[in-house]
């Protein structure tokens, strides 16, 4: 995703999110974001989009074999989890003391 300006996303590493579309869709089970890939517009979410990777034996991994790991999913397929409302919620941004704060539209709480 080559763009003129760096996109701004409301999802950050360590946030609780729910997967709203795809094979791992579950609107009631919040999961943790491991990494946000801003340039690609993707996120790696714990326990979502598990792939199997076949690895050859090497100096670090002498056995090799099959490794299960999380693959990135589109950032548009996840939504922030509002702990107070216990539901996924949209986010608005407000400035407080010169810093940008994310606020849930559902409950009005800071995230």
Least confident of 2-16, 48-62, 72-86, 95-109: 2-16
Radius of gyration of the chain (CA): 17
pLDDT value at residue 44: 98
pLDDT tens sequence across 83-99: 999 999 999 999 999 99
Burial class of residue 33 (count of CB atoms within 10 Å of its CB; 0-12, 13-18, 19+): buried
| pTM for this prediction | 0.86
pLDDT higher than threshold 90 for residue 12: yes
Cα distances (Å, whole numbers) of residue 31 to 2, 19, 102, 107: 29, 8, 19, 19
């Amino acid at each position: 995703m080559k763009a003129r300006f760096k996109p701004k996303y409301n999802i950050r590493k360590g946030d609780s999110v729910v997967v709203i579309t795809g094979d791992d869709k579950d609107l009631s089970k919040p999961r943790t974001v491991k990494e946000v890939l801003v340039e690609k517009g993707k996120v790696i979410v714990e326990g979502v989009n598990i792939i199997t990777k076949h690895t050859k034996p090497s100096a670090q991994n002498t056995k090799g074999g099959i490794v299960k790991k999380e693959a990135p999913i589109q950032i548009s397929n996840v939504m922030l989890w509002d702990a107070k409302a216990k539901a996924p919620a949209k986010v608005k941004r407000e400035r407080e003391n010169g810093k940008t704060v994310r606020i849930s539209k559902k409950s009005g709480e800071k995230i």
